Structure 1
């Protein structure tokens, strides 16, 4: 392998980004796999992300066979695997991060434009065959959506592996509620820590220099702060959707490149909504959706994930006649309770063609035994709870047959608040006959429930042009305050799931005014986050959720003129 460090990539405004290039010593040209992001190309996976690295090699000691794993970065491809497969691998430090100078502004329009120029640079180098592919996880997937909207001519295919796409709805404000828990910790730990000019950044063992730039570029703490945005405050200051959020989000009408969108089945709070929306909304005529379980960095490096990426990219970047063009549009790994085994099933569309969207109605007529029934209750009933202190859980009768629930969900709830607003946190669960909860390893949280959704009642306005019965789409462009005590019809988007439940299991829906969290599990949190069911995706910012507004009494109405229900994607047969 030929390894070139700190290769300059000039931008149109004079800023020079820095990249590491890994290519074959046996000639070329070859197609390119590129990533651009703020985590530091000079930060080794094993050093910068020690807990995650330890977990990966402990859980999968034989991961990436044939590689020494010495050249790996977090959430990017391993060049020791991909270069022998006939690719040039390029990692670019985004503007203001790592070895690239400039103002650090995550997910910005400027960052997307920089990525466009980097792709065009890579596509015209002598070692390139002119086809550039993108492949990476999380941040390195989100930037793929954003740059794809700009349609760089040399971009030939991409694999956004677990990538959010709508900065407002997927990342910053779930149902209008500020999602600060993750950003509060992630930004200083993984982004600001390797900001360009940060003298405290980790050493780059390959260049034997600080990973955040040469000593001449080091900045004081105050200078560093002035040279980057404050993402949490930016979101606090912008409660409604706006051009600022749109500039950090994909425009699906302009995404025409072939792509393989890889969604995690238990990634509530960040990525999977973007992967599903990509498949259903993007203009591309060559698009595939893959749905997998496990942690977000796990399946990307396992044999089945690697084989999938290689086959897709070999077809579009090398022109290999490997049958990919005949591959089913949807590749679903079906889950079963209390099992790590999954079954790959190929489907033709999403939602799946055999889906029968079925209403199961909430019934509060027995306050001590809240129920869900397939038939609509005739008699009206209601029940109240204190929003930030209590929760309600409605249970179905035991399932009469094995039941597959796969696809997007939604809840229609009729509720009143004692204040002028309320937040709804909705969690879909299932329980075995012996009352064990069905949960799975999520992208981060090892005890993730089956599905989650959120809505701030003052954001209840729907966009009629984009809403579907099973996927309400809120415009978030104006506030509709509540009149205390008045009943409102609220449609809650619940992110997609997939589960095959045996006969005798019960469904459950928890409704609350706070994040879903269980007591701390006996095996304690995972290695990086306190994991109680919602992972780090918590909504706790005091400026966004003042108690005088969001800790009031909420009353939920069921039956009669207020038929609250959960809409389930049940597969026929």
Structure 2
């Protein structure tokens, strides 16, 4: 957009005045500010800084507020209805304006069809009049084109951010990058994952699909991490023009998976991520917006007006250490996954150092999706784009968005992408399905005939490939998740540090509890990288060390006589006590090999006072309520059973290896993850006797045909290895 330059205030007022016709707002006239109703929100713009205003519904003052230095004020969490804004000086009332509900009826198709989007930078108008910045890139050839949309609070609409656009246009798709409200050049105010972003996404999907260049007037959604998670929020609104989604490296529940795993605040990744999002959602927070404004984009300029109204996200996080349904439920994709009614392709890694790897917990919640395909493997955050996944991902987009026989461009794109991420070059896609000579219907039928759940084992140890390459050693498929064939198998903690097939027969008087000091300051520091790139390379340098003596406990099996392959979540059921009556627990599962090396497998965390189990808990999957009303200190006398969930994983324990678990204060187990722990050196006792049968329970899948010889532990992606010390 090119216009004569105006001052920031004049541009803001001019734009808002134009949007009020769409949004049902009202001009303030002599009060010199404007009011616009939104979705469960209401905005004031162009007011005098420091002015005190009242939000009125009928005759009742609902809320009060003070205008910020940019002349703006936003109220959130409003019920649908008509509102006015009242000022005392000068005495005036502006309104009423209409506030819509997130579940309200969307606009008619004409609202979307009336918007024109072309190649390059655009703005999409949402139902409340907010404009979202969007950048459109076409593949070679003439349209219409099968189209994919990336939607997030990063910078997908930044014209200079071309990575994802190049990826998808090379695959033959038009690519549209859209910034969510309050980020980039998009208008509105920002709070992570708030409901209005979901309906904005609906509006963006419908506006893009209505364009003449969008083939079939249907679009798919793409993206990894934040733009992967955003797909889930948009798809729950069921846009009629959404063809399919491909969420990669996502979460199933913001609280339990990443923010407060086990009820313990994740200060290593989650808090810094939220801090960075808050910073980048400030006025010109991503940097590239200023260049557009300097070049004459007055819409981008005006869209910065509400940024000072962004809530203090860190204060919200720290103020809600328990699961609060009014906050947690809207950010819990497992609760709205049943609403998603389009085909889904999902992939992620067990040891994901960012989103955490807890995501398989909601795979069985996609009950309305006509197809759910999931691929899971060991590895780091970008593993969902690795060579073992990419071919199936590209085929899915061709079939469900492009409605065409899968093409060959994936063979060009995938190795370049994998090499860029990991630094390993000269790679190629593994053998792919052969669709040559098939019609589209035949190809789609062939794709759908296989098992939907793919487990890739021993990523990084593929035969004939460089060590640490983003390729699996072997793959197995299953009909559904959780794996139907899995058998809950228990190993019981013994008083002397063993894991046995049967519980101890010793009485509490005969079996002295073992104990340790929960001292996070005494643990080795967590492995941190300045950027994710170092961690994603073939052989990162981990600082994964043994727990110092007296600062944790370990239990280990005898050498296995047969193969054990767990796939899914696990449970570590501990009988514990502490004089401090609360403690934070970190449990880590490892493999100890005959050669004396120890391989990381998975971890789990729990604050003992959060031990109350919720509905849906099983013998291998303890689910905690994390409600304040359910929190209980450890008993003054005696032991309490505390069940710690091991995050999902798949691993082959071969004959001769031993299964080990360790328990200590949180820290050091997972790269990038630190914790705001309450542990400060308290003594923790763990009982393992006939009255207190502490145990490890894993979902063991029989009949998995795995290579006989274990891979070099140094080759496994995101599974560091160290020398075992008992």
Please list every run of 5 or more consecutive structure 1 residues that lacks an aligned counterpart in the other structure: 46-69, 73-77, 439-448, 518-532
Aligned residue among 28, 39, 45 for 2:154 = 39
Where does residue 5 of structure 1 map in the other structure?
120
Structure 2 partner of 1:468: 618
Q: Is 1:378 paired with 2:505? A: yes
**1:310: which partner in 2?**
394
- Structure number, greater radius of gyration: 2
Q: TM-score, normalised by structure 1?
A: 0.80
Q: 1:172 aligns with which of 259, 263, 284?
A: 259
Match of residue 110, structure 1, among 188, 196, 202 = 196
Cα gap change, 1:450/1:230 in structure 2, threshold over 3 Å: closer, same or farther?
farther
Cα-to-partner distance string for 1:436-495 (whole Å, 9 max, x where unaligned): 121xxxxxxxxxx3111111222111123x112211111222222333343111122111
Partner of 1:245: 328
User: Is contact 1:99-1:196 (8 Å) kept?
Assistant: no
> Counterparts of 1:337 and 1:317 in 2: how far apart (Å)?
31
Inter-CA distance 41–329: structure 2 relative to 1 (3 Å threshold):
closer
8 Å CA contact 2:377, 2:459 repeated in 1 = no
The alpha carbon displacement at 1:33 in A equals 1.0
Quote the offset at 1:213 in angstroms.
8.5
In structure 2, what is the equivalent of residue 262 of structure 1?
Answer: 347
Inter-partner Cα distance in structure 1 for 2:195 and 2:286: 28
Secondary structure, aligned partner of 1:404: coil
Deviates more, 1:483-492 or 1:450-459: 483-492
Q: 1:476 to 1:335 in 2, by over 3 A?
A: same
Contact 1:40–1:99 at 8 Å: present in 2 too?
A: no
Q: Tell me the residue number matched to 1:524.
A: none
- Is 1:286 matched with 2:371? yes
Query: Corresponding residue for 1:98?
Result: 184
| Contact kept? 2:518, 2:681, Cα under 8 Å | yes
Render the CA deviation track for 1:35-64: whole Å, top value 9, x for unaligned: 11111136689xxxxxxxxxxxxxxxxxxx
State which drifts further: 2-11 or 230-239: 2-11
2-structure distance, mates of 1:212, 1:172: 37
Aligned to 2:310: 228
Instruction: Tell me which of 314, 318, 333 is aligned to 2:456.
Output: 333
TM-score, with length taken from structure 2: 0.64
Q: Does 1:431 align with 2:561?
A: no
Q: Which of 340, 347, 363 lines up with 2:494 in the alignment? A: 363
Q: Within 5 A, what are the aligned runs for 1:188-207?
A: 188-189=275-276, 191-195=277-281, 197-198=283-284, 201=287
Tell me: CA distance 1:567–1:199, structure 2 relative to 1, closer, same or farther (3 Å). Answer: closer
Flag the 1:454–1:85 CA change in 2: closer, same or farther, 3 A. same
For these two proteins, the number of residue pairs brought into alignment is 500
Q: Residue by residue, what CA displacement relative to the aligned partner does 1:67-86 show, whole Å, maximum 9, x if unpaired? A: xxx821xxxxx333422433
- State the 1:25 CA deviation: 5.4
Deviation at 1:252, TM superposition (A): 2.6
Q: Please state if 1:182 is matched with 2:269.
A: yes
Q: Which residue of 1 aligns with 2:700?
A: 570
Matched, 1:342 2:473: yes
Change (3 A) 1:209 1:472: farther
- Cα distance in 1 for partners of 2:176, 2:270 equals 27
Q: Distance in 2 between matches of 1:36 and 1:177?
A: 30
Taking a change above 3 Å as real, the CA distance of residues 44 and 334 of structure 1, as seen in their structure-2 partners, is farther
Shift of 1:560: 0.7
Shift of residue 270, structure 1, vs aligned partner: 2.4
1:405 is aligned to 2:566: yes
1:64 equivalent in structure 2: none
CA distance in structure 1 between the partners assigned to 2:515 and 2:149 by the alignment: 53
Kept in 1: contact 2:350–2:649 (CA 8 A): yes
What is the root-mean-square deviation in Å for CA atoms of aligned residues? 2.9
Matches within 5 A, 1:28-177: 28-41=143-156, 71-72=162-163, 78-128=164-214, 129-177=216-264
In the alignment, the residues of structure 1 paired with residue 297 and residue 662 of structure 2 have an alpha-carbon distance, to the nearest angstrom, of: 46
SS at match of 1:555: strand
What are the within-5 Å matches in structure 2 for residues 447-486 of structure 1? 449-464=600-615, 466-477=616-627, 478=629, 479-486=631-638
Structure 1 residue 202 displacement after superposition: 5.1
Whole-angstrom CA distance in 2 between matches of 1:293 and 1:537: 17
Matched, 1:415 2:567: no
